[in-house]
């Protein structure tokens, strides 16, 4: 009887997968993204809640024109924090610069064309799942993405 109850509870919980009873999808974790377009400067991307796994800009065809991801530090993985400017980061195949930057650029920035429309995507993972260690019996992360579209002046 105990084995049947355990199987039933595990099934109801969705095996701890994304959006399960053990780790329900939380809409408040979806990034709310804004874009600032200061004259003569690169676009600035801001989002809440803070911290992202990666930030990416795509052109109207969906092609990635710039992407950064979380970087490493002495105390483990460090997230991309808001705000971040278009073109920020250091190349993934180079050592971090002495200025202490931790954002790793996986796609170098292409020049943005005036009048062209782009979409910025901010991708985050559920911190509750990361804290549990994940795995078969742990919580699996929910993924949250927020977007904003902007046109370069």
Instruction: Provide the number of structural domains found in the chain.
Output: 1
For residue 60, give its domain range: 26-151
Residue at 2 is within a domain = no
Give 85-128 pLDDT, tens digit per residue: 999 987 777 776 665 657 888 999 999 999 999 999 999 987 66
Residue pair 102/78 in contact by the 8 Å Cβ criterion: yes
Residue 54 confidence (pLDDT)? 95
Residue 73 confidence (pLDDT)? 58
Residue at 7 is within a domain = no
Residue at 125 is within a domain = yes
- Distance between CA atoms of 105 and 90, rounded to whole angstroms? 5
Q: For the chain, what is the radius of gyration of the CA atoms?
A: 19
Give the SS3 label for residue 95: coil
At 52, give phi and psi (nearest 5°): -140, 155
Mean pLDDT of 17-21: 56
Residue pair 143/125 in contact by the 8 Å Cβ criterion: yes
The enclosing domain of 141 has a CATH number of 2.60.40
Residue at 138 is within a domain = yes
Residue at 8 is within a domain = no
Name the pTM for this structure.
0.78
Which runs of consecutive H residues, i.e. helices, occur in 46-150?
127-132
Residue 41 confidence (pLDDT)? 94
Mean pLDDT of 50-68: 95
Across the beta sheet with 84-85, the strand order is 32-36, 44-48, 84-85
Residue at 31 is within a domain = yes
pLDDT classification of 137: cutoffs 50, 70, 90: very low
């Amino acid at each position: 009887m105990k084995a049947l109850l355990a199987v039933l509870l595990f099934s109801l919980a969705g095996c701890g997968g994304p959006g399960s009873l053990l780790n329900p999808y939380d809409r408040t974790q979806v990034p709310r993204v804004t874009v600032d377009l200061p004259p003569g400067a690169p676009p600035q991307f801001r989002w809440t809640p803070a911290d992202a796994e990666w930030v990416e800009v795509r052109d109207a065809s969906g092609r990635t024109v710039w992407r950064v991801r979380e970087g490493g530090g002495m105390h483990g993985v460090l997230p991309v924090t808001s705000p971040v400017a278009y073109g920020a980061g250091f190349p993934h195949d180079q050592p971090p610069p002495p200025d202490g930057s931790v954002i790793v650029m996986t796609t170098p920035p292409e020049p943005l064309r005036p009048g062209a429309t782009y979409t910025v995507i901010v991708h985050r993972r559920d911190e509750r799942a990361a804290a549990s260690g994940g795995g078969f019996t742990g919580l699996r992360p929910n993924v949250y993405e927020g977007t904003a579209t902007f046109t370069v002046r």
